[in-house]
Amino acid sequence: MSLAARIERAEADTAAAFGRAASRPGKDVLVSPVAGGTAVYGTPGDPFNKIAGLGFAPLDEASLASLEHVYDSRAGEMRVELSSLAGHGVAATLTSRGFVLIGYENVLALALTPDRVDATARMRDEATARGIAVSPAADARSWIRTVSEGFATPDTFDGPPPRESFARESLERVFADFSAAPGCALYLARRDGLVAGGGALRIVDGVAQLAGAATLPSQRRRGVQTALLHARLVAAAEGGCDLAVVTTEPGSKSQENVQRAGFELLYVRAILVRAASAV
């Protein structure tokens, strides 16, 4: 339970950082604590719109009702990503207040032990010798273009389709905001000297959150994602992390890749939403 609480605190911290980075004149982003977690909301469709980390402190229904009123005043849908290890009764409270289950996501983790890090560093170096080199992005614009193109053309796999998809222009705005979040480190992979993919890393309380990883369509099935994963794991360990975490769609190619690298499924997050009500 304490490990899950630590991971969920890191998730809430990143959601808040993402939301604050997206705040600008004319765009007021809500960032509010609630029941051990954080509620973040900007405008309809923003990918950081979520309530993360909920359920690891007592849930006060009066506070939740107040938050619902704030969302309703913005005509905003409330989205909760609730850990299966959250406190008993939280899910029942949410469903009794009109939240509806729409899906799940998996949380997987890898302990960054010295032996694991040493082995990962060797695999990173082997990929470099084969022509796949990963390094910090020299500028955010290159990273944004690369991962936006990768996400705009989803890979095919034998699992369920992604729940959400975004247009290229929207993806570029999303990744521009994400890359501006404090503590977000950006990486680019090059294959034979050409940009092939990108990924991001954010460290919170010794937890390395791996996100934003995508490979250009023409560079897939060549080991680029694996090289990006290994390089970020080594960087996380060098940054003082003892744990790496990734969130995936259930049954996705991404889940298959990280499990092959040693990640284990820790728990599931249920995704519950409440439609805005008229104020």
Burial 138-174 (b: 16+ CB within 10 A, else e): eeeeebbbbbbbbbbeebeeeeeeeeeeeeeeebbbb
Range of the domain at 134: 109-266
And the tokens for 13? 């911290």
C-beta separation of 34 from 45 below 8 A: no
C-beta separation of 16 from 23 below 8 A: no
Residue 119's pLDDT is 97
The answer to whether residue 279 is domain-embedded is: no
Q: Identify whether residues 215 and 231 lie together within a single domain.
A: yes
Q: Is the pLDDT of residue 48 over 90?
A: no
State pLDDT tens for residues 67-89: 999 999 999 999 999 999 999 89
Q: Is the pLDDT of residue 110 over 60?
A: yes
Instruction: For residues 263 and 279, give the distance between their C-alpha atoms in angstroms, rounded to a whole number.
Output: 45
pLDDT-based confidence at 277, cuts 50/70/90? Answer: confident
Mean pLDDT, residues 14-38: 90
pLDDT-based confidence at 168, cuts 50/70/90? Answer: low
Q: Identify whether residues 115 and 24 lie together within a single domain.
A: no
Region for residue 137 given its phi and psi (left: phi exceeds 0; alpha: psi -120 to 50; beta: otherwise): beta
Q: Identify whether residues 126 and 36 lie together within a single domain.
A: no
Q: Identify whether residues 146 and 56 lie together within a single domain.
A: no
Q: Identify whether residues 144 and 252 lie together within a single domain.
A: yes
Q: Identify whether residues 96 and 113 lie together within a single domain.
A: no
Q: Identify whether residues 96 and 120 lie together within a single domain.
A: no
Residue 138's pLDDT is 92
Q: Identify whether residues 40 and 62 lie together within a single domain.
A: yes
Residue 167's pLDDT is 60
The overall average pLDDT reported for the chain is: 91
Q: Is the pLDDT of residue 159 over 60?
A: no
C-beta separation of 273 from 77 below 8 A: yes
Q: What is the DSSP letter of 273?
A: E
Best CA proximity match to 277, nearest among 76, 95, 94: 76
Q: Identify whether residues 149 and 77 lie together within a single domain.
A: no
Q: Which of 6-20, 22-36, 198-212, 226-240 has the lowest mean pLDDT?
A: 22-36
Q: Identify whether residues 223 and 160 lie together within a single domain.
A: yes
How many structural domains compose the chain? 2
